[in-house]
Amino acid sequence: MSTSDQPSDQLSDQAAGTGSDNRGDRDQSRGDRDQGRDGSGRDDLEALSRALLAITEQTATREVLQMIVESARSLVRSEYAALGLPDERGRFAEFYASGISPEQWRAIGPLPRAHGLLSVMMAQARPYRAEDVQADSRFSGWPATHPPMRGFLGVPIVDRGEIMGAIYVANGPDAPVFGDEDERLLGILAAHAAIALTRARMFERDRELTLVEERARIARDLHDAVAQKLFSLRLTVGAAEALTVKGDRDRAREQFARVKELAGSALDELRAVVTELRPPAVREDGLVPALRKHVAVISRAHPVRVRFDSNCDGRCELPGEVEDVVFRVAQEALHNALRHAEPSAVDIDLRTSDHEVVLVVADDGKGFDGDPARDGGHHLGLASMRERARQAGGRLRVESRPGAGTTLRLEVPHE
């Protein structure tokens, strides 16, 4: 799913299945809310307390963000709510919503871009409220399938001066105006959302670092185990050759049987570890969020500027095997650049179309001559990446010159 070429201010349901029409519930809760506002604001405080407790119970970022959206919608009794997190290029890296059905979400299409009214809270750390969102001069339209919205309230999520994102609600219970109390409640929620989001991100970073360390340990164990088997395999092949020369066919057959046994055992170990090391973030979050997380972890571990960009926000709707191949190649290419090229910067670019996904990893490092995939040693990663591309029906090209860096381009077709 890619960013739309046409500008649009849209509230989209990033988590399919969360959207449902709650107009009847809002009408009922509106009366309850009016009764509760007797000066104490007891109902609102209780609702806010429940929302904050629910948010702080979550540790995974996606769950935290969706819970914030649901809580915002419930607190102000709005028909729609959304939350957007910007990327470094002024677009939405992630977008979550509530109140829009999966069918509406699919009809609306790509995620909105962080422009127009949706960008207001990204640039200034203060709330924005409108009685009619379409009457604002900064309103730039939305797709024809977008549900009608008038009343609008947006509040930034700020942590120590950094604008982390924004919460948006539309179509309030008072048809459609949002009041001071709505803004106050949403402001409190946004303040606690910043804390919860920071906590969730720290938790996921710690988990990712733990996974990286665990994969490194497994890789070391794999190297030791397979190296021992290959060493034994080499000795056994030598013994079989010597026995064949001597004409001792019976003992030679025994050694060749041993060769088959050792080769099969090594292959089983390789397959088991490959399955174990399949990146869970790709399965859980999708390709783009998984790559963003991986780049964030690597950036903290290396004094190299690593940049990631994609025209596919959120889930790219690619086959699982294609996502695995793209992630693995990106991971290996980044690792090779950081380990061997001595770069000051690495750029990772991912582009998807209806029929193909293209990954480009470019560094400004020392480069090389020839084709290191055929030279053995530490460049065997290129051979592995080429094999992954071949098995996925794609191709891998590498361009490099000494002193001019290296560019790796992966092209994989998909249905």
pLDDT digits (tens, 9 = 90+) for 160-191: 888 888 999 999 886 667 999 899 989 988 88
In a domain, 10, yes or no: no
Q: Do 187 and 43 meet the contact criterion of CB atoms below 8 Å apart?
A: no
Among the three residues 188, 203, 218, which one is the final residue of a domain in this structure? 203
Same domain flag for 142 and 214: no
Report pLDDT for 406.
93
3-state secondary structure of 130: strand
Question: Among 314, 342, 333, 381, which Cα is nearest to 111's?
Answer: 314
Residue type, 111: L
For residues 304 and 260, state if they share a domain.
no
Q: Which are the contacts of 149, defined by CB distance < 8 A and separation ≥ 6? A: 11, 79, 80, 133, 134, 170, 171, 176
The model's pLDDT over 317-362, given as tens digits with 9 standing for 90+, comes to 788 888 889 998 998 899 888 878 889 999 999 999 888 999 999 9
Question: What domain count does the chain have?
Answer: 3
In terms of Cα–Cα distance, which of 337, 308, 325 is closest to 384?
A: 325
CB 412 within 8 A of CB 322: yes
In a domain, 7, yes or no: no
Q: Which of 156, 184, 203 is the last residue of a domain?
A: 203
161 burial level (CB within 10 Å; 0-12, 13-18, 19+): exposed
Q: Which residue has the tokens 């710690």?
A: 206
Is there a single domain that holds both residue 270 and residue 289? no
Same domain? 248 vs 289: no
Look at residue 223 and tell me whether its pLDDT is greater than 90.
no
Q: Does the residue 333 lie in any domain?
A: yes
- Of 17-31, 44-58, 99-113, 229-243, minimum mean pLDDT range: 17-31
Q: Is the separation of the CB atoms in 130 and 161 below 8 Å? A: no
Q: Which of these, 91, 42, 158, 61, lies nearest to 310 by C-alpha position?
A: 91
Report d(CA 154, CA 207) in Å as an integer.
Answer: 32
Higher per-residue pLDDT: 305 or 210: 305
User: Which of the four pLDDT bands, split at 50, 70 and 90, describes residue 60?
Assistant: low
pLDDT of residue 175: 60
Domain that includes residue 134, residue range: 23-203
Q: Do 161 and 238 lie in a common domain?
A: no
Give yes or no for residue 34 having a pLDDT over 60.
Answer: no
User: What CATH number did the domain enclosing 335 receive?
Assistant: 3.30.565.10
CATH number at residue 248: 1.20.5
Average pLDDT over residues 207-233: 68
Verify cis geometry, omega within 30 degrees of 0, for the bond prior to 147: no
Q: What is the DSSP string of 66-86?
A: HHHHHHHHHHHT-SEEEEEEE
Tokens 């399949």: give the residue.
278
| Percentage, residues of the chain above pLDDT 70 | 69
- Considering the entire predicted model, what is its pTM? 0.48
Task: Confirm if 194 and 216 have CB atoms less than 8 A apart.
Answer: no
Rounded to an integer, what distance in angstroms lies between the CA atom of residue 208 and that of residue 297?
7
pLDDT of residue 183: 92
pLDDT at 13 over 60: no
From residue 120, give the alpha-carbon distance in Å to each of 59, 293, 335. 28, 26, 38
Residues of the chain above pLDDT 90, percent:
17
Judge whether residue 46 has pLDDT over 50: yes
Contact (CB, 8 A) for 40 and 60 = no
**In a domain? residue 141:** yes
Confidence of residue 21 (pLDDT cuts 50, 70, 90): very low
CATH number at residue 51: 3.30.450.40
Interatomic CA distance for residues 55 and 72, integer angstroms: 11
What are the CA-CA distances from residue 93 to residues 31, 86, 116 (Å)?
38, 5, 16
Is residue 143 within 8 Å of residue 8, measured between CB atoms? Answer: yes
